[in-house]
Protein backbone atom coordinates (compact mmCIF):
# COMPACT_ATOMS: atom_id res chain seq x y z
CA UNK A 1 0.00 0.00 0.00
CA UNK A 2 2.77 2.45 0.87
CA UNK A 3 4.24 2.33 -2.63
CA UNK A 4 0.81 2.96 -4.17
CA UNK A 5 0.16 5.91 -1.87
CA UNK A 6 3.54 7.40 -2.75
CA UNK A 7 2.88 6.92 -6.47
CA UNK A 8 -0.54 8.57 -6.18
CA UNK A 9 0.86 11.57 -4.31
CA UNK A 10 3.74 11.90 -6.76
CA UNK A 11 1.26 11.77 -9.61
CA UNK A 12 -0.73 14.60 -8.08
CA UNK A 13 2.42 16.65 -7.47
CA UNK A 14 3.54 16.26 -11.10
CA UNK A 15 0.62 18.52 -12.12
CA UNK A 16 1.70 21.84 -10.68
CA UNK A 17 -1.50 23.92 -10.97
CA UNK A 18 -4.80 22.45 -9.80
CA UNK A 19 -6.92 25.60 -9.74
CA UNK A 20 -10.44 25.10 -11.07
CA UNK A 21 -10.83 25.95 -14.74
CA UNK A 22 -7.14 25.85 -15.62
CA UNK A 23 -5.31 23.48 -17.96
CA UNK A 24 -3.99 21.79 -14.82
CA UNK A 25 -7.53 21.20 -13.61
CA UNK A 26 -8.34 19.34 -16.83
CA UNK A 27 -5.05 17.44 -16.64
CA UNK A 28 -5.95 16.39 -13.09
CA UNK A 29 -9.35 15.10 -14.24
CA UNK A 30 -7.71 13.08 -17.02
CA UNK A 31 -5.00 11.73 -14.70
CA UNK A 32 -7.50 10.70 -12.03
CA UNK A 33 -9.80 9.09 -14.60
CA UNK A 34 -6.87 6.99 -15.79
CA UNK A 35 -6.09 6.00 -12.18
CA UNK A 36 -9.72 4.89 -11.78
CA UNK A 37 -9.43 2.82 -14.94
CA UNK A 38 -6.15 1.29 -13.73
CA UNK A 39 -7.91 0.27 -10.51
CA UNK A 40 -10.42 -1.73 -12.55
CA UNK A 41 -13.39 0.65 -12.57
CA UNK A 42 -14.97 2.76 -15.30
CA UNK A 43 -14.46 6.51 -14.78
CA UNK A 44 -17.04 9.11 -15.74
CA UNK A 45 -16.36 12.79 -16.24
CA UNK A 46 -19.26 14.90 -14.97
CA UNK A 47 -18.96 18.21 -16.87
CA UNK A 48 -20.65 21.48 -15.98
CA UNK A 49 -20.43 25.08 -17.16
CA UNK A 50 -18.08 27.33 -15.23
CA UNK A 51 -17.03 30.99 -15.48
CA UNK A 52 -13.32 31.21 -14.75
CA UNK A 53 -11.32 34.28 -13.82
CA UNK A 54 -8.29 34.82 -16.06
CA UNK A 55 -5.80 37.05 -14.26
CA UNK A 56 -3.95 39.89 -15.97
CA UNK A 57 -2.06 42.57 -14.05
CA UNK A 58 -2.67 42.29 -10.31
CA UNK A 59 -0.45 44.60 -8.25
CA UNK A 60 -0.18 47.51 -5.84
CA UNK A 61 2.34 50.30 -6.45
CA UNK A 62 3.37 53.09 -4.11
CA UNK A 63 6.22 55.45 -5.08
CA UNK A 64 9.05 53.13 -6.13
CA UNK A 65 7.63 50.03 -4.42
CA UNK A 66 5.49 47.35 -6.08
CA UNK A 67 3.92 44.11 -4.90
CA UNK A 68 2.37 41.63 -7.31
CA UNK A 69 -0.37 39.44 -5.94
CA UNK A 70 -3.58 37.49 -6.47
CA UNK A 71 -7.01 39.05 -5.96
CA UNK A 72 -9.69 37.39 -3.89
CA UNK A 73 -11.71 35.31 -6.32
CA UNK A 74 -15.02 36.33 -4.74
CA UNK A 75 -14.22 40.04 -4.51
CA UNK A 76 -14.39 42.94 -6.91
CA UNK A 77 -12.10 43.60 -9.87
CA UNK A 78 -10.66 46.69 -11.55
CA UNK A 79 -10.01 47.53 -15.16
CA UNK A 80 -6.46 47.66 -16.50
CA UNK A 81 -5.93 51.16 -15.07
CA UNK A 82 -6.86 50.16 -11.53
CA UNK A 83 -7.87 52.55 -8.76
CA UNK A 84 -5.77 55.35 -7.26
CA UNK A 85 -6.18 56.27 -3.59
CA UNK A 86 -4.05 56.70 -0.47
CA UNK A 87 -3.07 53.63 1.51
CA UNK A 88 -4.40 53.61 5.07
CA UNK A 89 -4.96 51.17 7.93
CA UNK A 90 -7.98 49.00 7.20
CA UNK A 91 -9.98 50.29 10.15
CA UNK A 92 -10.23 53.74 8.56
CA UNK A 93 -13.35 54.24 6.51
CA UNK A 94 -13.57 56.36 3.40
CA UNK A 95 -12.04 56.29 -0.05
CA UNK A 96 -8.66 54.86 0.95
CA UNK A 97 -7.06 51.53 0.02
CA UNK A 98 -7.03 49.60 3.28
CA UNK A 99 -3.95 47.62 4.35
CA UNK A 100 -4.36 44.58 6.61
CA UNK A 101 -2.84 41.19 7.45
CA UNK A 102 -4.70 37.96 6.69
CA UNK A 103 -4.19 34.21 6.92
CA UNK A 104 -5.22 31.49 4.48
CA UNK A 105 -7.12 29.67 7.24
CA UNK A 106 -9.52 32.58 7.49
CA UNK A 107 -10.65 32.23 11.09
CA UNK A 108 -8.36 34.80 12.73
CA UNK A 109 -9.52 38.22 13.91
CA UNK A 110 -7.67 40.16 11.20
CA UNK A 111 -9.19 38.12 8.38
CA UNK A 112 -12.67 38.40 9.90
CA UNK A 113 -12.16 42.17 10.10
CA UNK A 114 -11.21 42.20 6.43
CA UNK A 115 -14.44 40.41 5.51
CA UNK A 116 -16.40 42.99 7.50
CA UNK A 117 -14.55 45.83 5.74
CA UNK A 118 -15.44 44.32 2.36
CA UNK A 119 -19.09 44.67 3.26
CA UNK A 120 -18.65 48.29 4.43
CA UNK A 121 -17.16 49.40 1.13
CA UNK A 122 -13.76 50.91 0.27
CA UNK A 123 -11.74 51.77 -2.80
CA UNK A 124 -9.82 48.56 -2.35
CA UNK A 125 -7.89 46.43 0.12
CA UNK A 126 -4.32 45.15 0.09
CA UNK A 127 -4.00 42.08 2.33
CA UNK A 128 -0.48 40.91 3.20
CA UNK A 129 0.01 37.32 4.37
CA UNK A 130 0.64 37.23 8.11
CA UNK A 131 3.25 34.40 8.01
CA UNK A 132 2.62 33.35 11.60
CA UNK A 133 0.71 30.06 11.55
CA UNK A 134 1.57 29.68 7.83
CA UNK A 135 5.09 29.70 6.36
CA UNK A 136 6.30 33.02 4.85
CA UNK A 137 5.18 33.83 1.32
CA UNK A 138 1.72 34.04 -0.24
CA UNK A 139 -0.88 31.52 0.91
CA UNK A 140 -4.30 32.32 -0.53
CA UNK A 141 -7.79 32.51 0.91
CA UNK A 142 -10.56 30.40 -0.55
CA UNK A 143 -13.48 32.10 -2.28
CA UNK A 144 -16.70 30.71 -0.78
CA UNK A 145 -18.81 33.33 -2.59
CA UNK A 146 -17.29 32.77 -6.02
CA UNK A 147 -20.70 32.59 -7.68
CA UNK A 148 -21.83 35.86 -6.05
CA UNK A 149 -18.74 38.07 -5.53
CA UNK A 150 -19.05 41.17 -3.38
CA UNK A 151 -17.14 44.18 -2.14
CA UNK A 152 -14.09 46.03 -3.43
CA UNK A 153 -11.05 44.45 -5.07
CA UNK A 154 -8.85 42.73 -2.48
CA UNK A 155 -5.27 42.00 -3.53
CA UNK A 156 -3.47 39.26 -1.56
CA UNK A 157 0.31 39.77 -1.46
CA UNK A 158 3.27 37.98 0.07
CA UNK A 159 4.32 38.45 3.69
CA UNK A 160 7.61 40.00 2.50
CA UNK A 161 5.74 43.23 1.68
CA UNK A 162 4.29 43.72 5.17
CA UNK A 163 6.70 46.33 6.52
CA UNK A 164 6.66 48.79 3.64
CA UNK A 165 2.90 48.47 3.16
CA UNK A 166 2.22 49.16 6.82
CA UNK A 167 4.62 52.11 6.79
CA UNK A 168 3.01 53.55 3.67
CA UNK A 169 -0.45 53.09 5.19
CA UNK A 170 0.67 54.98 8.28
CA UNK A 171 1.76 57.88 6.06
CA UNK A 172 -1.41 57.76 3.92
CA UNK A 173 0.86 57.48 0.88
CA UNK A 174 -0.77 57.61 -2.57
CA UNK A 175 -0.95 54.26 -4.35
CA UNK A 176 -2.50 52.41 -7.26
CA UNK A 177 -4.24 49.05 -6.94
CA UNK A 178 -4.81 46.91 -10.03
CA UNK A 179 -6.86 43.71 -9.84
CA UNK A 180 -7.53 43.13 -13.51
CA UNK A 181 -9.10 39.88 -14.65
CA UNK A 182 -11.48 38.80 -17.35
CA UNK A 183 -14.23 36.20 -17.13
CA UNK A 184 -14.23 33.32 -19.60
CA UNK A 185 -16.89 30.65 -19.99
CA UNK A 186 -15.50 27.14 -19.87
CA UNK A 187 -16.40 23.60 -18.82
CA UNK A 188 -14.97 21.77 -15.81
CA UNK A 189 -15.58 18.24 -14.57
CA UNK A 190 -15.98 16.11 -11.50
CA UNK A 191 -14.65 12.55 -11.73
CA UNK A 192 -17.00 9.77 -10.61
CA UNK A 193 -17.31 6.00 -10.67
CA UNK A 194 -19.48 3.36 -9.02
CA UNK A 195 -18.64 -0.09 -7.69
CA UNK A 196 -21.79 -2.26 -7.67
CA UNK A 197 -22.66 -3.96 -4.42
CA UNK A 198 -23.93 -7.49 -3.92
CA UNK A 199 -27.19 -6.28 -2.33
CA UNK A 200 -29.18 -3.88 -4.46
CA UNK A 201 -31.69 -3.27 -1.67
CA UNK A 202 -29.17 -1.32 0.41
CA UNK A 203 -28.62 2.43 0.28
CA UNK A 204 -25.24 3.38 -1.24
CA UNK A 205 -22.06 4.53 0.44
CA UNK A 206 -20.45 7.64 -1.08
CA UNK A 207 -16.69 8.30 -0.92
CA UNK A 208 -15.97 11.97 -1.58
CA UNK A 209 -12.76 13.96 -1.99
CA UNK A 210 -12.01 17.36 -3.55
CA UNK A 211 -9.63 17.30 -6.52
CA UNK A 212 -8.81 20.99 -7.01
CA UNK A 213 -6.72 23.55 -5.13
CA UNK A 214 -4.64 26.69 -5.36
CA UNK A 215 -1.12 26.09 -6.68
CA UNK A 216 0.01 22.44 -6.33
CA UNK A 217 -1.10 21.87 -2.71
CA UNK A 218 0.25 18.33 -2.47
CA UNK A 219 -0.12 17.79 1.28
CA UNK A 220 -3.49 19.51 1.25
CA UNK A 221 -5.04 17.26 -1.39
CA UNK A 222 -2.70 14.27 -1.72
CA UNK A 223 -3.91 12.34 1.32
CA UNK A 224 -7.55 12.52 0.24
CA UNK A 225 -6.72 11.46 -3.31
CA UNK A 226 -4.61 8.52 -2.09
CA UNK A 227 -7.25 7.32 0.39
CA UNK A 228 -10.00 7.68 -2.25
CA UNK A 229 -8.05 5.50 -4.67
CA UNK A 230 -7.24 2.94 -1.96
CA UNK A 231 -10.96 2.61 -1.16
CA UNK A 232 -11.69 2.13 -4.85
CA UNK A 233 -9.05 -0.59 -5.19
CA UNK A 234 -10.40 -2.33 -2.07
CA UNK A 235 -13.96 -2.54 -3.36
CA UNK A 236 -13.01 -3.46 -6.92
CA UNK A 237 -11.04 -6.37 -5.46
CA UNK A 238 -13.57 -7.28 -2.76
CA UNK A 239 -17.11 -6.39 -3.83
CA UNK A 240 -19.03 -4.55 -1.08
CA UNK A 241 -22.58 -5.30 0.00
CA UNK A 242 -23.67 -1.74 -0.78
CA UNK A 243 -23.09 0.10 -4.01
CA UNK A 244 -20.17 2.47 -3.43
CA UNK A 245 -20.20 5.76 -5.33
CA UNK A 246 -16.90 7.60 -5.72
CA UNK A 247 -16.94 11.36 -6.33
CA UNK A 248 -13.87 13.61 -6.79
CA UNK A 249 -15.00 17.20 -7.15
CA UNK A 250 -13.45 20.27 -8.71
CA UNK A 251 -14.20 23.78 -7.46
CA UNK A 252 -13.14 23.15 -3.86
CA UNK A 253 -11.39 26.51 -3.45
CA UNK A 254 -14.23 28.34 -5.22
CA UNK A 255 -17.27 27.69 -3.08
CA UNK A 256 -17.24 23.89 -3.42
CA UNK A 257 -18.61 24.44 -6.92
CA UNK A 258 -18.21 20.84 -8.07
CA UNK A 259 -19.97 19.32 -5.08
CA UNK A 260 -22.71 21.91 -5.38
CA UNK A 261 -23.30 20.82 -8.98
CA UNK A 262 -23.20 17.13 -8.03
CA UNK A 263 -25.78 17.54 -5.28
CA UNK A 264 -27.99 19.81 -7.38
CA UNK A 265 -28.24 17.21 -10.13
CA UNK A 266 -28.85 14.40 -7.62
CA UNK A 267 -31.23 16.08 -5.22
CA UNK A 268 -31.97 12.98 -3.16
CA UNK A 269 -28.45 11.54 -2.94
CA UNK A 270 -27.21 13.32 0.18
CA UNK A 271 -29.99 12.10 2.42
CA UNK A 272 -30.62 8.81 0.64
CA UNK A 273 -27.05 7.55 0.96
CA UNK A 274 -26.31 5.34 3.93
CA UNK A 275 -23.21 7.41 4.65
CA UNK A 276 -20.63 9.72 3.10
CA UNK A 277 -16.90 9.41 3.68
CA UNK A 278 -15.40 12.88 3.24
CA UNK A 279 -11.64 12.78 2.66
CA UNK A 280 -10.69 16.40 3.24
CA UNK A 281 -7.62 18.60 3.42
CA UNK A 282 -4.20 18.42 4.97
CA UNK A 283 -4.10 15.14 6.88
CA UNK A 284 -1.09 13.94 4.85
CA UNK A 285 1.07 16.90 5.87
CA UNK A 286 4.15 16.77 8.05
CA UNK A 287 3.17 18.08 11.47
CA UNK A 288 -0.52 18.29 10.59
CA UNK A 289 -3.14 18.60 13.30
CA UNK A 290 -5.74 16.00 12.31
CA UNK A 291 -9.46 16.58 12.88
CA UNK A 292 -12.21 13.95 12.76
CA UNK A 293 -15.86 14.80 12.15
CA UNK A 294 -18.90 12.54 12.06
CA UNK A 295 -22.63 12.36 12.37
CA UNK A 296 -23.54 11.09 15.85
CA UNK A 297 -24.40 7.60 14.53
CA UNK A 298 -20.93 7.13 13.03
CA UNK A 299 -18.67 8.81 15.59
CA UNK A 300 -17.58 5.59 17.28
CA UNK A 301 -17.00 3.81 13.95
CA UNK A 302 -14.50 6.45 12.88
CA UNK A 303 -12.72 6.92 16.19
CA UNK A 304 -12.25 3.18 16.67
CA UNK A 305 -10.77 2.87 13.17
CA UNK A 306 -8.31 5.71 13.78
CA UNK A 307 -7.29 4.40 17.19
CA UNK A 308 -6.83 0.87 15.81
CA UNK A 309 -4.24 2.20 13.36
CA UNK A 310 -2.46 4.28 16.00
CA UNK A 311 -3.57 7.65 14.61
CA UNK A 312 -6.13 9.10 17.04
CA UNK A 313 -7.27 12.57 15.95
CA UNK A 314 -5.93 15.73 17.53
CA UNK A 315 -9.45 17.16 17.64
CA UNK A 316 -13.04 16.07 17.06
CA UNK A 317 -15.78 18.37 15.81
CA UNK A 318 -18.75 18.32 18.17
CA UNK A 319 -21.20 15.77 16.70
CA UNK A 320 -24.23 17.47 15.22
CA UNK A 321 -22.54 20.85 14.82
CA UNK A 322 -21.72 22.14 11.31
CA UNK A 323 -18.54 20.41 10.09
CA UNK A 324 -15.70 21.85 8.02
CA UNK A 325 -14.99 21.29 4.35
CA UNK A 326 -17.31 19.51 1.93
CA UNK A 327 -18.81 17.60 4.85
CA UNK A 328 -20.64 20.87 5.59
CA UNK A 329 -22.53 20.58 2.29
CA UNK A 330 -23.46 16.99 3.08
CA UNK A 331 -24.55 17.95 6.59
CA UNK A 332 -26.71 20.82 5.30
CA UNK A 333 -28.35 18.50 2.74
CA UNK A 334 -29.35 16.04 5.46
CA UNK A 335 -26.65 13.44 4.85
CA UNK A 336 -24.75 11.35 7.39
CA UNK A 337 -20.98 11.28 7.20
CA UNK A 338 -17.55 10.59 8.56
CA UNK A 339 -14.91 13.17 7.69
CA UNK A 340 -11.14 13.43 7.99
CA UNK A 341 -9.17 16.64 7.55
CA UNK A 342 -6.55 18.75 9.29
CA UNK A 343 -4.45 21.90 9.52
CA UNK A 344 -0.85 22.49 8.44
CA UNK A 345 1.74 25.23 7.93
CA UNK A 346 1.77 25.12 4.10
CA UNK A 347 -1.99 25.58 3.72
CA UNK A 348 -2.71 27.13 0.28
CA UNK A 349 1.01 27.91 -0.15
CA UNK A 350 3.02 27.28 -3.35
CA UNK A 351 5.71 25.45 -1.34
CA UNK A 352 3.31 22.62 -0.46
CA UNK A 353 5.14 20.04 -2.58
CA UNK A 354 6.33 16.44 -2.53
CA UNK A 355 8.32 15.24 -0.62
CA UNK A 356 9.04 18.10 1.78
CA UNK A 357 5.52 18.50 3.18
CA UNK A 358 4.39 14.86 3.26
CA UNK A 359 4.40 12.47 6.24
CA UNK A 360 4.14 9.24 4.28
CA UNK A 361 4.13 6.94 7.32
CA UNK A 362 1.18 8.65 8.99
CA UNK A 363 -0.60 9.00 5.65
CA UNK A 364 -0.43 5.23 5.19
CA UNK A 365 -1.85 4.62 8.67
CA UNK A 366 -4.63 7.12 8.06
CA UNK A 367 -5.45 5.43 4.75
CA UNK A 368 -5.68 2.10 6.57
CA UNK A 369 -8.03 3.69 9.10
CA UNK A 370 -10.20 5.04 6.26
CA UNK A 371 -10.36 1.53 4.79
CA UNK A 372 -11.60 0.23 8.14
CA UNK A 373 -14.34 2.86 8.13
CA UNK A 374 -15.24 2.10 4.51
CA UNK A 375 -15.37 -1.65 5.12
CA UNK A 376 -17.74 -1.21 8.06
CA UNK A 377 -19.98 1.35 6.38
CA UNK A 378 -20.26 -0.71 3.19
CA UNK A 379 -21.94 -3.60 5.01
CA UNK A 380 -25.68 -4.03 5.46
With b for 16 or more beta-carbon neighbours within 10 A and e for fewer, the 106-140 pattern comes to eeeeebebbbebbeeebbbbbbbbbbeebbeebbb
pLDDT of res. 76: 97
Label the pairing between strands 154-157 and 174-195: unpaired
Domain definitions of the chain by residue range:
2-52+185-377, 55-184
Q: With H, G, I as helix, E, B as strand and everything else as coil, classify residue 346.
A: coil
Residue 244 near residue 205 (C-beta atoms within 8 A): yes
pLDDT computed for residue 144 by the predictor? 97
Question: Which residues, 6+ apart, have CB-to-CB distance to 320 below 8 Å?
Answer: 295, 296
For residue 261, give the 3-state DSSP assignment. Answer: helix
Strands 205-210 and 154-157: unpaired
Q: Enter the pTM of the model.
A: 0.97
Domain covering 2-52+185-377 in this structure, CATH number: 3.40.630.10
Q: What is the mean pLDDT of each run of 10 residues along the chain (380 residues)?
A: 98 99 98 99 98 98 98 98 97 88 91 89 92 93 97 98 98 98 98 98 98 98 99 98 99 98 93 98 98 98 98 96 97 97 98 99 99 98
**In the CATH hierarchy, which fold is given to the domain comprising 55-184?**
Glucose Oxidase; domain 1 (3.50.30)
User: What pLDDT sits at residue 376?
Assistant: 98
Amino acid sequence: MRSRIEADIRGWDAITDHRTGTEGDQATADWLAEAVRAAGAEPHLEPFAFDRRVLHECSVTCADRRADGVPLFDGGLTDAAGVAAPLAPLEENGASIGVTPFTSRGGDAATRSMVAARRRGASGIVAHAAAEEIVPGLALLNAPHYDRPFGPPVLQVSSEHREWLQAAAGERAPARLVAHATIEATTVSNVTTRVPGTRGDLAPLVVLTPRSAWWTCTAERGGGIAAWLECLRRFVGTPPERDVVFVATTGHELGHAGLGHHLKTRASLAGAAHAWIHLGANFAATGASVRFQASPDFLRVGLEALESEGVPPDSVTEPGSPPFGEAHNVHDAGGRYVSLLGAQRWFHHPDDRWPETIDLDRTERLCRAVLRMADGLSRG
